[in-house]
Amino acid sequence: MLLGRHINKFYLKYLWLYLIGVAGLIAVDWFQLLIPEYLGKIVDLFQGTQIDTAALSEIVLGVVFVAFVLFLGRIAWRLSIFAASQRTEAGLRRKMFAKSERLPLSYYAKNKVGTVMAWFTTDLETIEEFLGWGTIMLFDAGFLTLLVIVKMIRLDWVLSLVVFVPLVLIAVWGGLVEKFQAKKWNARQEEFDKLYDYSRESFTGIRVIKAFVCETRRLHECAGIIRKNKNINLSYARMTVIFDCIISLIIALINAIILGVGGYFVYCFVMGDPVVLFSHTVEMSAGNLITFLGYFETMIWPMMALGQIVSMRSRAKASLKRVSRFLDAEETTSPLEKAGTVAGAVTFKNFSFTYPDCDKPALKNITLEIEAGETVGVVGKVGSGKSTLVNSLLKLYPLERGTVFLDGKDITLLNTDSVRSAVACAPQDGFLFSDTLSGNIGFSRDDCSGEEIEQAADFACLSGDISGFKDGFKTVCGERGVTLSGGQKQRVAIARAYLADAPVLILDDSVSAVDIKTEKTILANIAEKRRNKTTIVVASRVSTVSHFDKIVVLSGGEVEAFASPEELMKISPTYRKMVRLQALEEEVEGGCHDAD
């Protein structure tokens, strides 16, 4: 059996299916052992001068009845055990998906997407394989072996004793091999994770690869990863084949022993001088030898299954450990208290943050207070921590208690879903799904109407672009919005965030790819339609936020200043420098245009 905290409950849940399946297996095992007995009786019938037709008819009817029972029994265990294993796989996958939604972003920073996908695919399939075929092999081999041993001993215990000694070797060999196979399988899965990661990254960045003519280099790199996968798979397959070959050799050896020793017993019995061993007279007729051989032939399947069970269980055990580590990962807790009605006041008190696996903090001792209804800009050099500051409001990473507040409430003590419902965000990358424009804009709300989607598109200055598309709002964006320009993707993300109608709206450098005219229109819409609601805009150009109520200036992960644009010109060297550089840039661009 495959036991673990996350899988045991499924055994109880689908116990009735397993019981039906096991009952069908036992019935099949019991009745199929009648066939060697019938064969032995037929051989003995044909040894005389006359054939007992009544006895022969009885045997034929018995064989037909056994065939009917085997037909029904095999249908029963196939339908029930496979149903249980597939339902368990589906249950684990649902549990894992729910877990993936609760895990903080820091977890995915440590574990690549390809690795996580391998857990959801190959590892779950390996577990399902063992729960299905592995369960069948385990119970079938166990009960069938026990029944065969009993019948073989009852037929002749001396010959049975000669046969059972090699079987012990198979059991010992299987126990030793299982540990090595588990290690090999785990190494195989880790190499597969690397291949999965590399493939996903290559397909995602195919345009960059083609743009820089790096196809050949990437092919060579991929070939190296594939070569490692091939070597570890060959190593695992080699061990499995060696194990199966040794079992086959032992089985062939036992067959030879039965034919040699059993044939000698039959010869002595026919000649009227039966063998006596251990004070036991061996009376082995030709029919009995055929029956004994039939029993052993029936037991070959359990012995071969033992090799497959060992291999299958070692793989499933390694995969279950990988899945269990994922399910046991520490997740973001969501206390019972909800954010309730949010006005939109945001406060940071001595807030510091360091990304996982990094030594240098991204933010240090951030203290500022944003009043409800204010429109606030966040500016600073590249890497100053602008995105980190606004993303902290979404609880994507674990935060220190008592440092970030929403309407005076510590967000670490608030329900995560309620916090994220109160804070809408248009992220820096503007990720879009492989859906229509309407579906992407309406993603933030389940109950939005077509009219509301159009209003959100107007807010983001997207209506003109959409009207130029053949299918309008039904235009499919493609994977990650591949059919749209950078500015269009940003504006779809803005429309999606605006449609959420949250008390706090975050635009994380979401107008960097649009032209100045469109930017001014969007900013005007923010001032008009987001009046009395908190809006935080991260900007790379100071002109974007120059008319906001207040601006946060970050430098080196710290707040250099937090004031109105007018006051910042007096107290913030970084802000003054950014203003001068942008003015110089506009002057140079204007001169170039005049020369043209």
List pLDDT tens digits, range 249-259. 877 887 787 78
Find the mean pLDDT for residues 123-136: 88
Find the mean pLDDT for residues 35-49: 72
Q: What is the pLDDT of residue 349?
A: 93
Find the mean pLDDT for residues 49-58: 73
Q: What is the pLDDT of residue 1?
A: 67
Q: What is the pLDDT of residue 414?
A: 85
Cα angle: 463, vertex 377, 536; to 5 degrees: 65
With bands split at pLDDT 50, 70 and 90, how would you rate the model's confidence at 587?
low
Find the mean pLDDT for residues 296-300: 74
Find the mean pLDDT for residues 413-425: 86
Total count of residues recorded for the chain = 596
Contact 421, 446 (CB under 8 A): no
With bands split at pLDDT 50, 70 and 90, how would you rate the model's confidence at 417?
confident
Q: What is the pLDDT of residue 242?
A: 81
Q: What percent of the chain has pLDDT over 90?
A: 10
Contacts of 371 (CB under 8 A, 6+ apart): 345
Strand partners, 424: 505
Q: What is the pLDDT of residue 595?
A: 41
> Does the pLDDT of residue 594 top 50, yes or no?
no
Find the mean pLDDT for residues 283-304: 75
> Does the pLDDT of residue 588 top 70, yes or no?
no
Residue 251 to residue 452: CA distance in whole angstroms = 74
Find the mean pLDDT for residues 284-293: 78
pLDDT digits (tens, 9 = 90+) for 221-273: 889 888 988 888 888 888 878 877 877 787 788 778 778 877 887 788 777 77
Q: What is the pLDDT of residue 289?
A: 77
Q: What is the pLDDT of residue 109?
A: 72
Continuous H helices in 103-214: 105-110, 113-118, 124-129, 135-155, 157-204, 206-211
Q: Calculate the dihedral angle through the C-alpha atoms of 354, 359, 365, 366, rounding to the nearest 10 degrees.
A: -40
Find the mean pLDDT for residues 294-302: 75
| Selection from 1-15, 161-175, 579-593 with the highest mean pLDDT | 1-15
Q: What is the pLDDT of residue 167?
A: 67
Contact 305, 140 (CB under 8 A): yes
What the chain holds in terms of domains, given with CATH numbers, is 8-180+243-327 (1.20.1560.10), 346-433+486-595 (3.40.50.300)
With bands split at pLDDT 50, 70 and 90, how would you rate the model's confidence at 593?
very low
Cα angle: 173, vertex 178, 181; to 5 degrees: 120
Q: Which of 84, 254, 93 is nearest to 162 (CA)?
A: 254
Give me the chain's average pLDDT, please: 82
> Does the pLDDT of residue 399 top 60, yes or no?
yes
> Does the pLDDT of residue 484 top 90, yes or no?
no
Q: Which of 196-200, 278-282, 336-340, 539-543 has the lowest mean pLDDT?
A: 336-340
Phi, psi of 500 (to 5 degrees): -65, -20
| Amino acid type, 3 | L
Find the mean pLDDT for residues 421-442: 84
With bands split at pLDDT 50, 70 and 90, how would you rate the model's confidence at 364?
very high
Q: What percent of the chain has pLDDT over 70?
A: 90
Residue 156 to residue 280: CA distance in whole angstroms = 10
- If you compute the radius of gyration of the chain from its CA atoms, what whole number of angstroms results? 37
Q: What is the pLDDT of residue 378?
A: 92
The SS3 assignment for 49 reads coil
| pTM for this entry | 0.64
Find the mean pLDDT for residues 521-539: 89
Residue 297 to residue 310: CA distance in whole angstroms = 21
